[in-house]
Amino acid sequence: MFKNSSPQTEDGTSLIGEGLNIEGDLVCQGSIEVAGIMNGSVKAANLKILETGSVIGAIKADKFEVFGAYIFWIGAIKIIGPSRSGVFLHLMPVFSSLMAIFLLGERFANFHIFGALFILTGIIVSTKFK
């Protein structure tokens, strides 16, 4: 009565554990989490680089996450304070667009300019006219 006739495939996640050092290229159709050191290129559908992980080589992934960035963001807030770090939070779309243009080859368009101008105007107005 409740039988599912379609075949189910479960994509597991491969883990390169902390303390593990892999030399060579790695190709995976599923997900990879890197907590150790990967010395070579990585090609995967989903790739997560955890706090203790590193990849020394080319990365090609449909979805790519780096968890160490959050630790650096929280550390920066502790150093410069939350009120000053808020300005950089609003600049993230500008930096993301620049990285997409220079690193991923996205075509530069008018909306990049207008978006950056709106963000910079908002930052200037909010910091100058308190």
pLDDT for the residue numbered 6: 47
pLDDT for the residue numbered 5: 52
Helix, strand, coil shares of the chain as percentages rounded to 5?
40, 25, 30
Q: Is the pTM of this model over 0.85?
A: no
Residues 69, 89 contacting (CB under 8 angstroms): no
pLDDT for the residue numbered 118: 94
Is residue 1's pLDDT more than 60? no
Instruction: Name the average pLDDT for the chain.
Output: 82
Tens digit of each residue's pLDDT (9 = 90 or more) over 12-49:
788 888 889 989 998 988 888 888 888 989 898 888 88
